[in-house]
Amino acid sequence: MKKNMGFADKIIRFILAIVVGVLYYTDVINGTLAIVLGALAVVFILTSFIGFCPLYLPFGINTRKDK
């Protein structure tokens, strides 16, 4: 599994996941929307930590700058 996410991509995903968490805990989102966005936030956190996004593979996207 080759890493395909750059630093900025990881930070953006992490911030979006935090925003979803804050919206959930402040009761701005609830119900089905909260479940879907929560699952997406978990995926964002996981992919930002491992540096690999499986959806980038079929499209040939690589935001990582190789040295």
Q: What range defines the domain where residue 37 resides? A: 7-50
Q: Per the domain annotation, does 57 fall within a domain? A: no
Beta strands in the chain (DSSP E): none
Q: Tokens in use for 23?
A: 């919206």
- Residue 24 reports pLDDT greater than 90: yes
Does residue 16 contact residue 48 with C-beta atoms inside 8 Å? no
Query: What length does the chain have?
Result: 67
Q: Per the domain annotation, does 64 fall within a domain? A: no
Find the mean pLDDT for residues 13-40.
Answer: 96
Q: Per the domain annotation, does 23 fall within a domain? A: yes
Find the mean pLDDT for residues 26-43.
Answer: 96
- The confidence score (pLDDT) of residue 67 equals 64
Q: Per the domain annotation, does 60 fall within a domain? A: no
Q: Per the domain annotation, does 30 fall within a domain? A: yes
- The confidence score (pLDDT) of residue 11 equals 96
Q: How many structural domains are present in the chain?
A: 1
pLDDT tens per residue, range 38-59 = 999 999 999 999 999 999 999 9
What's the pTM value of the predicted model, to 2 decimals? 0.86
